[in-house]
Amino acid sequence: MNNFFSKYKFIFYSLNIILIFVYLFPGSIFGLLMNDNIYKHPQITPDFIISTNHLYSFLILSIVGFLTFGKKKQFKILSIYLIFLSIILELSHIIIPNRGFELSDLFGNLLGVIIIILLKYFFKKNENF
Protein backbone atom coordinates (compact mmCIF):
# COMPACT_ATOMS: atom_id res chain seq x y z
CA MET A 1 0.00 0.00 0.00
CA ASN A 2 2.82 2.37 0.87
CA ASN A 3 4.46 1.64 -2.48
CA PHE A 4 1.23 2.49 -4.33
CA PHE A 5 0.96 5.96 -2.83
CA SER A 6 4.67 6.71 -3.20
CA LYS A 7 4.36 5.94 -6.93
CA TYR A 8 1.29 8.11 -7.31
CA LYS A 9 2.14 11.27 -5.40
CA PHE A 10 -0.40 13.14 -7.49
CA ILE A 11 -3.09 11.64 -5.23
CA PHE A 12 -1.67 13.48 -2.21
CA TYR A 13 -1.13 16.67 -4.20
CA SER A 14 -4.66 16.48 -5.62
CA LEU A 15 -6.14 16.04 -2.14
CA ASN A 16 -4.17 19.09 -1.01
CA ILE A 17 -5.53 21.22 -3.84
CA ILE A 18 -9.10 20.05 -3.23
CA LEU A 19 -8.84 20.68 0.51
CA ILE A 20 -7.35 24.15 0.03
CA PHE A 21 -10.05 25.04 -2.52
CA VAL A 22 -12.83 23.86 -0.19
CA TYR A 23 -11.34 25.78 2.75
CA LEU A 24 -10.83 29.01 0.82
CA PHE A 25 -14.20 28.99 -0.97
CA PRO A 26 -16.41 31.78 0.42
CA GLY A 27 -19.23 29.66 1.81
CA SER A 28 -19.83 25.94 1.74
CA ILE A 29 -19.31 24.10 -1.55
CA PHE A 30 -20.80 20.94 -0.06
CA GLY A 31 -23.73 22.93 1.32
CA LEU A 32 -24.34 24.34 -2.14
CA LEU A 33 -24.19 20.90 -3.77
CA MET A 34 -26.16 18.96 -1.15
CA ASN A 35 -28.59 21.48 0.37
CA ASP A 36 -28.67 24.13 -2.35
CA ASN A 37 -27.65 26.55 0.40
CA ILE A 38 -24.16 28.07 0.46
CA TYR A 39 -24.56 29.04 4.13
CA LYS A 40 -25.46 25.61 5.55
CA HIS A 41 -22.62 23.15 6.01
CA PRO A 42 -23.66 19.47 5.89
CA GLN A 43 -22.63 17.54 8.99
CA ILE A 44 -21.23 13.98 8.69
CA THR A 45 -21.48 13.21 12.41
CA PRO A 46 -22.42 15.40 15.38
CA ASP A 47 -19.75 17.67 16.78
CA PHE A 48 -18.60 17.25 20.35
CA ILE A 49 -15.71 19.41 21.52
CA ILE A 50 -14.13 19.48 18.07
CA SER A 51 -15.47 19.70 14.53
CA THR A 52 -15.74 16.15 13.23
CA ASN A 53 -15.87 17.25 9.58
CA HIS A 54 -12.48 18.91 10.01
CA LEU A 55 -11.13 15.93 11.92
CA TYR A 56 -12.11 13.55 9.09
CA SER A 57 -10.66 15.83 6.41
CA PHE A 58 -7.26 16.04 8.05
CA LEU A 59 -7.25 12.36 9.04
CA ILE A 60 -7.65 11.40 5.38
CA LEU A 61 -5.08 13.94 4.15
CA SER A 62 -2.58 12.84 6.84
CA ILE A 63 -3.03 9.13 6.15
CA VAL A 64 -2.46 9.60 2.43
CA GLY A 65 0.46 11.95 3.12
CA PHE A 66 2.26 9.56 5.44
CA LEU A 67 1.66 6.62 3.12
CA THR A 68 3.06 8.71 0.26
CA PHE A 69 6.14 10.03 2.05
CA GLY A 70 7.42 7.25 4.30
CA LYS A 71 11.07 8.17 4.89
CA LYS A 72 12.18 9.60 8.23
CA LYS A 73 13.22 13.02 6.89
CA GLN A 74 10.02 13.26 4.87
CA PHE A 75 8.01 12.35 7.98
CA LYS A 76 9.30 15.39 9.88
CA ILE A 77 8.77 17.78 6.96
CA LEU A 78 5.30 16.41 6.24
CA SER A 79 4.31 16.63 9.92
CA ILE A 80 5.32 20.29 10.07
CA TYR A 81 3.59 20.99 6.74
CA LEU A 82 0.30 19.40 7.82
CA ILE A 83 0.28 21.18 11.18
CA PHE A 84 0.95 24.57 9.58
CA LEU A 85 -1.58 23.89 6.82
CA SER A 86 -4.27 23.09 9.37
CA ILE A 87 -3.55 26.30 11.28
CA ILE A 88 -3.21 28.60 8.26
CA LEU A 89 -6.35 27.33 6.53
CA GLU A 90 -8.46 27.85 9.64
CA LEU A 91 -6.96 31.29 10.31
CA SER A 92 -7.77 32.27 6.73
CA HIS A 93 -11.47 32.01 7.63
CA ILE A 94 -11.06 35.29 9.52
CA ILE A 95 -10.79 37.21 6.23
CA ILE A 96 -12.86 35.03 3.85
CA PRO A 97 -16.48 36.19 3.39
CA ASN A 98 -19.21 33.81 4.63
CA ARG A 99 -16.66 31.83 6.63
CA GLY A 100 -15.79 32.12 10.29
CA PHE A 101 -12.85 31.14 12.43
CA GLU A 102 -13.79 28.63 15.13
CA LEU A 103 -11.51 27.05 17.69
CA SER A 104 -13.41 23.74 17.44
CA ASP A 105 -12.55 23.62 13.72
CA LEU A 106 -8.89 24.37 14.43
CA PHE A 107 -8.75 21.67 17.11
CA GLY A 108 -10.42 19.23 14.70
CA ASN A 109 -7.77 20.00 12.07
CA LEU A 110 -4.89 19.60 14.51
CA LEU A 111 -6.29 16.47 16.13
CA GLY A 112 -6.66 14.81 12.73
CA VAL A 113 -2.97 15.39 12.02
CA ILE A 114 -1.75 14.55 15.54
CA ILE A 115 -3.63 11.23 15.67
CA ILE A 116 -1.92 10.02 12.50
CA ILE A 117 1.49 11.30 13.64
CA LEU A 118 1.13 9.37 16.91
CA LEU A 119 -0.07 6.22 15.14
CA LYS A 120 2.81 6.41 12.67
CA TYR A 121 5.29 6.92 15.50
CA PHE A 122 3.77 4.06 17.54
CA PHE A 123 3.81 1.59 14.64
CA LYS A 124 7.31 2.61 13.58
CA LYS A 125 8.63 2.18 17.11
CA ASN A 126 6.99 -1.24 17.55
CA GLU A 127 7.45 -2.67 14.09
CA ASN A 128 10.10 -5.15 15.31
CA PHE A 129 7.98 -6.26 18.29
Q: Containing domain of residue 89, as a range?
A: 2-125
Instruction: Give me the pLDDT at residue 56, please.
Output: 93
- State how many domains the chain has: 1
Is residue 55 within 8 A of residue 107, CB to CB? The reply is: no
Q: Give me the pLDDT at residue 61, please.
A: 95
Instruction: Compute the average pLDDT of residues 22-44.
Output: 76
pLDDT in tens, 107-126: 999 999 999 999 988 888 77
CA atoms within 13 A on the CB side of 117: 17
The answer to whether residue 2 scores a pLDDT higher than 80 is no
* 72 CB-near residues (< 8 Å, 6+ apart): none
pLDDT in tens, 63-86: 999 989 878 788 899 999 999 999
CA angle 88, 47, 22 (to 5 degrees): 40
Burial of 6 (0-12, 13-18, 19+ CB in 10 A): middle
